[in-house]
Amino acid sequence: MEKEFQYMVDFTIQSHEKKELDELMLYQKTMVQKFFSQGKLLNYAFSFENSKAWAIFRATSIKEVIGMVLEFPLAKFTKYEISKLSQYNIHSIKHDFSLN
């Protein structure tokens, strides 16, 4: 098995027709969920107001990341920059629940 790395993708949404973009958002969310369920996407954020999106992917190469990015329905509306991360930390909050 090849070693996997984390890559951050910084998306900039280019000029677009709002209606067309809105229509693709459902399909975009579907692809995001697909990559999350496959363990390929670790983090995803989208700012409509700033025309930006950010994602952290787990992949063996930049080529693999590009392949996943191009599967996003919004890819044709974006310019993106990919950075291989030297370090990626995440803090998760564990909630302890009591049934008493």
pLDDT, one tens digit per residue, over 2-50 is 899 999 999 999 876 777 788 888 899 999 999 999 999 999 999 988 8
Whether the per-residue pLDDT at 80 is higher than 80: the answer is yes
Whether the per-residue pLDDT at 93 is higher than 90: the answer is no
* C-alpha distances out from residue 98 to 47, 78, 83, 93, 95, Å: 37, 46, 42, 16, 10
- Give residue limits of the domains in the chain: 5-84
Provide the CATH number for the domain formed by 5-84 in this structure. 3.30.70.1060
Rounded mean pLDDT of 38-64? 95
